[in-house]
Structure 1
Amino acid sequence: MTAFPQSNVPRFSVEVYQNEYLPEGGREVHAVVTVTATTNGGATTDGGAGAGTAPGPRAYTRAAGPDAAVVIMVDCSGSMEYPPTKMRNARDATAAAIDTLRDGVAFAVVGGTHVAREIYPGGGGLATADAATREQAKQALRTLSAGGGTAIGTWLRLAGRLLSGADVSIRHGILLTDGRNEHESPEELQASLAACAGRFTCDARGVGTDWEVREVTGIASALLGTADIVADPAGLSADFARMMETAMGKEVADVALRLWTPVGAEIAFVKQMAPTVEELTGRRGDSGPRTGDYPTGSWGDESRDYHVCIRVPAAGVGQEMLAARVSLVLPEPEGGIPVALSHGLVRAVWTDDTAASTSINPQVAHYTGQAELARTIQEGLDARKSGDRDGATAKLGRAVQLASVSGNEATARLLAKVVDVVDAPTGTVRLKVKVTEADEMTLETRSTKTVRVKK
């Protein structure tokens, strides 16, 4: 293996937190896997049981300079003209994102209606960011005007074609919409997402309150990006600049969470739990005997938590086994053998000590609650929309209770805009008579954002 080309390319560490003890005949093993990518020479924090770091230095592809490409997709449908400031804010936001591009990064701007149009540079290619091209791109933004329908799948497919022509490691999209995807079927959008998944990541933003939350969050989820609401168009510039700055901080792409299980064991589920809840179970790709890879996308200097559940064969007291081996892997260029960046172990030990086998690991307990919090918020909002006030009160009350117990203050504040909180610890609430659409959509959009467990 070759040496790191730059000291600020991240090294990965894996920390496994679990209660490894099961009662006699017990079959389910739960573990929280914390993955940390660290710059500045690869220093890592001390891990829990089964923690491991990269087995040795490796030449990563540097993405924060010329080894990255970004396409910005801007909604130009007719609704962007109402109010007229919305289109102006979108142009300003795109300009702010362009100003945040680092020299050498390949980029393009796409205008989206019921069709997708190249705004800059045109000709089916990408421009290379420097002072001149950034200025040219900002001049081209003046041609953005509102008119037409909305077919987001066409925007994504054009972005995919543009990005596929770039010889880079990090391929990323930023998508802005203000309305519902009314000019293509849900099946057409899903087909476009399937075609783009694995080819580039994408952050999605909804501006105003006339868009569909599950469309925007579905886009971000499928393409391993972030989703959020910008209720006031005046906030777009700051949000776009932050998104682009984060994209510029990504340094390695296509990192996979690899799980190996022994004969007789199987993966029940894999979920990302921090910074957001994201179901990964169905995204498994087989990578070898009893081995599967789960995509995690691009990484910069950051840490994420994953909840893994493994079903193991029942065993008697005193027996123990390796339930799973967890690795972070990065594909070698040109189809070579993937290299393990870090690893950790999940164990199972059968005991007749009731106190040991019934103890719930604090990390597992915390994220089980965070998953329930996200689910109950969605169920409560669905009940509220359908007119089921009793059901909505019960679900949102439980959400308030979970947010209080886990210390998720940001979600608690959002919930307080939808319900009057009588007693947070018991989840006693009353539905508010009047709730703004922006507050309800903000709660729904951000319902999957979690708070990190205090280790």
Structure 2
Amino acid sequence: MANFSKSQVPQFSVEVYQNEFLPEGGREVSAIVTVSSTGGGTSGGAPLTGASASPAAIPGGSAGAAVVIMVDCSGSMDYPPTKMRNAREATAAAIDTLRDGVEFAVVDGTHVAREVYPGGGRLAVADRRTREQAKDSLRRLTAGGGTAIGTWLRLADRLLASSDSPIRHGILLTDGRNEHESPEDLRAALTAVAGRFTCDARGVGTDWEVKEVTGIASALLGTADIVADPSQLAADFTSMMENAMGKEVADVALRLWTPLGAEIRFVKQVAPTVEELTHRRTEAGPRAGDYPTGSWGDESRDYHVSVRVPEAGIGQEMLAARVSLIIPAADGGAPEVLSQGLIRAVWTDDMAASTSINPQVAHYTGQAELADVIQEGLDARKSGDFDGATAKLGRAVQLAEASGNEDTAKLLSKVVDVVDAATGTVRLKAKVADADEMTLETRSTKTVRVKK
């Protein structure tokens, strides 16, 4: 690991928000777990504060980072011709944002994947000279051919595997559907590279498939977004690379241990976006499992954990789950525990205590439902089920209004006419721009945090 000054050492904390009280016979325990990383970098949103376990410092920052930029160069990137120019400018902007010492490469993606810079199956080390060389090489990015994103990801994986850097990241740009390989081939590629690097994915224009792009980002623990106007690519690529440069701790996992008789029902990231993690569990010893969270900079994220506990009598209490934040040990030994929190269960005959819903749990339950009903509503609209679409999108408007999710409310207003937000009364718009519908679908999982 690199030597950081004491002020630069990242610190992690785990906070647990829950109502631990259950009625007699109650078995379901829900908690919001807030994980914050502070003091180590320049990335991410403002961390939260509150009653928690004391933060634990990492013994050092990251030893470095490696990044591969994958640029769609299929034939459709020539329509309009400015799109390819915008992609080259965006890639150049991202290269300019690289820190000195970061390893990097640029990949040209069509129905095959080709190294544009530096070539030879290796990564370059960023400095003034290599950045200029890389930008000069972007002239070789020209449109032609098909789209097979799985091949781009596999090449990025091979390039990143040549690096000893703990932070390994990809940036992927596409403007079209993945028509030159089967969905099974893309899934196989994602399975092969998952956990080996993180990846942000962007769709430019409106001719790409939202579920493909969001599926790539989800599988590789990155972000997904639409850049409907190609002239905005440079700003977006700069922002993505700045975020990647702010990551300092890799391969962080939530480890959940449960006592005998208790089991994890689900684990979801619920802020800043909704991301299902339940199926990503890997066993970590007796009654313990690890859930990947990827790389961290200065940022805070929230997770919803649901535990089923055995029945118990009034007055009894138990530890429902222990939440540990861990990173792999450099020497391959036992992982290092960065911070911990406890989820408790207490059985009571106090009806007011046992029926009270914790505000954080209630808020994020609503945000997860908001993401679900937007997707269901858009799917119904596409299939011609306009009554179903109206009902689902109306519920989405109601949830967005109640939770103060103003960004999502604005996106919904481009797809429906809102008659009464509080009751979720809406009418589907007769005409909706492709960009507006795709933006709503792509950003449907973005959440707002609980107002403190």
1:248-287 correspondence to structure 2 within 5 Å: 248-287=245-284
Does the residue aligned with 1:413 lie in a helix, a strand or coil? helix
Partner residue of 1:343 out of 331, 335, 340: 340
**What residue is the counterpart of 2:148 in the other structure?**
151
Taking the aligned partners of 2:205 and 2:244, their CA distance within structure 1 comes to 24
Aligned length: 447
Does the residue aligned with 2:390 lie in a helix, a strand or coil? helix
Shift of 1:47: 2.8
Partner residue of 1:436 out of 412, 426, 433: 433
* TM-score, scaled to structure 2: 0.97
**What residue is the counterpart of 1:14 in the other structure?**
14
Amino acid at match of 2:104: F
Amino acid at match of 1:34: T
Taking the aligned partners of 1:173 and 1:61, their CA distance within structure 2 comes to 20
Amino acid at match of 2:8: N
Does the residue aligned with 1:433 lie in a helix, a strand or coil? coil
Taking the aligned partners of 2:88 and 2:49, their CA distance within structure 1 comes to 46
Amino acid at match of 2:28: E
Shift of 1:46: 4.4
Taking the aligned partners of 1:185 and 1:3, their CA distance within structure 2 comes to 46
Percent same amino acid at aligned positions? Answer: 79
Taking the aligned partners of 1:54 and 1:301, their CA distance within structure 2 comes to 13
Pairwise CA RMSD of aligned residues? 1.5
Amino acid at match of 2:117: Y
Amino acid at match of 2:12: F
Partner residue of 1:89 out of 86, 91, 111: 86
Shift of 1:60: 2.9
Taking the aligned partners of 1:305 and 1:424, their CA distance within structure 2 comes to 27
Does the residue aligned with 1:47 lie in a helix, a strand or coil? coil
Does the residue aligned with 1:429 lie in a helix, a strand or coil? strand
Query: What are the Cα deviations for residues 42-79 of structure 1, in whole angstroms up to 9, with x where unaligned?
Result: x986434xx21345x4423425xxx1000000000000
Partner residue of 2:232 out of 224, 235, 250: 235
Does the residue aligned with 1:53 lie in a helix, a strand or coil? coil
**What residue is the counterpart of 1:446 in the other structure?**
443
Report if the CA contact (8 A) 1:16-1:47 is conserved. Answer: no
Amino acid at match of 2:325: L
Matched, 1:47 2:73: no
Does the residue aligned with 1:378 lie in a helix, a strand or coil? helix
Shift of 1:182: 0.5
Report if the CA contact (8 A) 2:271-2:303 is conserved. Answer: yes
Taking the aligned partners of 2:77 and 2:9, their CA distance within structure 1 comes to 40
1:190-209 correspondence to structure 2 within 5 Å: 190-209=187-206
Amino acid at match of 1:47: G
Does the residue aligned with 1:52 lie in a helix, a strand or coil? coil
Matched, 1:27 2:27: yes
Does the residue aligned with 2:447 lie in a helix, a strand or coil? coil
Structure 1 pair 103–392 and aligned structure 2 pair: CA distance change class (3 A): same
Shift of 1:82: 0.5
Query: What are the Cα deviations for residues 123-149 of structure 1, in whole angstroms up to 9, with x where unaligned?
Result: 000000000000000000001100000
Partner residue of 1:293 out of 290, 295, 316: 290
**What residue is the counterpart of 1:366 in the other structure?**
363
Shift of 1:335: 1.1
Report if the CA contact (8 A) 1:259-1:326 is conserved. Answer: yes
Taking the aligned partners of 2:73 and 2:47, their CA distance within structure 1 comes to 45
Taking the aligned partners of 2:349 and 2:283, their CA distance within structure 1 comes to 36
Shift of 1:6: 4.3
Report if the CA contact (8 A) 1:275-1:305 is conserved. Answer: yes
Taking the aligned partners of 2:298 and 2:425, their CA distance within structure 1 comes to 40
Partner residue of 1:131 out of 115, 125, 128: 128
**What residue is the counterpart of 2:329 in the other structure?**
332
Structure 1 pair 251–174 and aligned structure 2 pair: CA distance change class (3 A): same
Report if the CA contact (8 A) 1:74-1:90 is conserved. Answer: yes
Shift of 1:40: 6.1
Does the residue aligned with 1:397 lie in a helix, a strand or coil? helix
Structure 1 pair 150–390 and aligned structure 2 pair: CA distance change class (3 A): same
Taking the aligned partners of 2:136 and 2:117, their CA distance within structure 1 comes to 9
Taking the aligned partners of 2:215 and 2:302, their CA distance within structure 1 comes to 21
Shift of 1:9: 2.6
Query: What are the Cα deviations for residues 269-294 of structure 1, in whole angstroms up to 9, with x where unaligned?
Result: 00000000000000001111111110
Structure 1 segments, 4+ long, off by >4 Å, are: 2-6, 43-46
Does the residue aligned with 1:99 lie in a helix, a strand or coil? helix
1:155-234 correspondence to structure 2 within 5 Å: 155-234=152-231
Does the residue aligned with 1:447 lie in a helix, a strand or coil? coil
Structure 1 pair 95–435 and aligned structure 2 pair: CA distance change class (3 A): same
Query: What are the Cα deviations for residues 203-230 of structure 1, in whole angstroms up to 9, with x where unaligned?
Result: 0000000000000000000000000000
Does the residue aligned with 1:309 lie in a helix, a strand or coil? strand
Structure 2, unmatched stretches of 5+, are none
Taking the aligned partners of 1:445 and 1:255, their CA distance within structure 2 comes to 26
Taking the aligned partners of 1:454 and 1:345, their CA distance within structure 2 comes to 23
Partner residue of 2:386 out of 368, 375, 389: 389
Taking the aligned partners of 1:31 and 1:454, their CA distance within structure 2 comes to 17
Report if the CA contact (8 A) 2:3-2:61 is conserved. Answer: no
Taking the aligned partners of 1:53 and 1:447, their CA distance within structure 2 comes to 34
Report if the CA contact (8 A) 1:14-1:47 is conserved. Answer: no
**What residue is the counterpart of 1:68 in the other structure?**
65
Shift of 1:5: 4.8
Bigger drift between 3-12 and 180-189 goes to: 3-12
**What residue is the counterpart of 2:353 in the other structure?**
356
